[in-house]
Amino acid sequence: MKNDKNTRQILFVDDNPGDINLAVEALKVGRLKYNVHGVEDGEQAMTFLRREGEYAGAPHPDLILLDLNLPKKDGCQVLAEIKADANLKRIPVVMLTVSKAEEDILKSYNLRANCYITKPFDIEQIFKVVKSIEDFWFTIVKLPPNGVE
């Protein structure tokens, strides 16, 4: 889990550490190397992204996985802050949440989420969804250049 330039950095914001661990496991299978940074509330997510306090040395993530229902600061608020920040808005944000409500989907896209995916309940299905996200975003898509620091 070194931070060399071939390691993809993912920020996973979810108040369920079980789901973060599952993503870490899913991403260990395969050719590419990932460093998954898990944070469990919206305030921590913004602290990480702005590299404040304990996150002073944190890398800029290549991709953000963001839950909607989060303690302290909710996912929509985090999304809005990212997409309003000139230094952060280029980073793709994948909403990953149990909500299937049309209202949540529409609101997320209007706040410029890059895509919205419903998180299944079943472990095996979550695993599959994480692999689909990995395949699409890290092998098909060209991600924006990550700030070299």
Contact residues: other proteins, CB under 8 A: 83, 89-92, 100, 102, 105-106, 109-110, 112, 114-118, 120, 125, 128-129, 132-133, 135-137, 140-145
Specify the residue, 39 or 82, whose C-beta has the smaller distance to other proteins. Answer: 82
CB of 112 to other proteins, least distance (A): 5
Specify the residue, 45 or 133, whose C-beta has the smaller distance to other proteins. Answer: 133
CB of 13 to other proteins, least distance (A): 18
Of residues 16, 12, 44, 6, the one with CA closest to residue 133: 12
CB of 116 to other proteins, least distance (A): 5
CB of 42 to other proteins, least distance (A): 21
CB of 9 to other proteins, least distance (A): 16
Specify the residue, 72 or 114, whose C-beta has the smaller distance to other proteins. Answer: 114
Specify the residue, 30 or 71, whose C-beta has the smaller distance to other proteins. Answer: 30
CB atoms within 10 A of CB 80: 15
Specify the residue, 53 or 145, whose C-beta has the smaller distance to other proteins. Answer: 145
**What are the distances in angstroms from CA 33 to CA 24, 29, 61, 97, 107?**
11, 9, 13, 24, 33
Task: Name the one residue in this structure whose structure tokens are 């590419």.
Answer: 32
CB-based burial of residue 79 (10 Å sphere; 0-12 exposed, 13-18 middle, 19+ buried)?
buried
